[in-house]
Amino acid sequence: MNILIYGYGNPGRQDDGLGNAFVNRIREWVAVEGLHDFTFDSNYQLNIEDAEAIADKDLVIFADASKEDIEDFCLSRVDGTNDVSFTTHAASPGYIVKLCEELFNKKPLVLLLHIKGYEWEFTEGISSKVKANLEAALHYMKKKLIRPDNFLKPHLKYC
C-alpha cells in the first residue's frame, strides 16, 4: 500500500503546528521500524497542487490541529463531497480529493486526523497541554500503520 502522511498548520502558532509535529514524529518511527511505501509532507496549508500528490497513493492521512470539541484526537473520512472549499489562502482536504477525482480520475482512501489543540498564540512549538493528545494520536496511528489494511476496516476512531 502506497501511503502519504501529510501534516499541515502553522508551527509559529503553538498548537496549530500539531499536524507538522505529527508528521515529524511518525516519520522517525517509520524509519526506526524499517517500514516502506511511506511518503511524508508538511506545509502551512493544503494547496491545489496536492491533488496530484495524492493521485498515486492508496491511503492518504492528512493531520491537522483541531479546535473542535473532541477528546484527544479522531479520524474522519474525506471525500470529494465533504468540506469542499477553496480560497486564495487555503484548500480544504475535501477540495483536494475532489480535484484528484476530477483531474486524475483517482480515488485514494483519504482520512483526516484531527488532533485537539488548545493554544494558538504566535509562539513556536506546541503547548505542554497538547502533548498528551499528540502522544495518544501517535500511539493509535502506529498500531494501525503497522498493518495499513487496518484502515480498510470499520473499527477506526471516527469523529
Residue ranges covered by each domain of the chain: 3-152
pLDDT confidence of residue 80 = 82
Q: Tell me what the mean pLDDT of segment 74-92 comes to.
A: 76
- The model's pTM: 0.94
Q: Give the CATH number of domain 3-152.
A: 3.40.50.1450
**All 3 cell numbers of residue 124?**
513556536
pLDDT confidence of residue 14 = 97
Q: Tell me what the mean pLDDT of segment 7-25 comes to.
A: 97
pLDDT digits (tens, 9 = 90+) for 90-145: 789 999 999 999 999 999 999 999 999 999 999 999 999 999 999 999 999 999 99
pLDDT confidence of residue 151 = 86
CA–CA gap between residue 59 and residue 16 (Å, rounded): 24
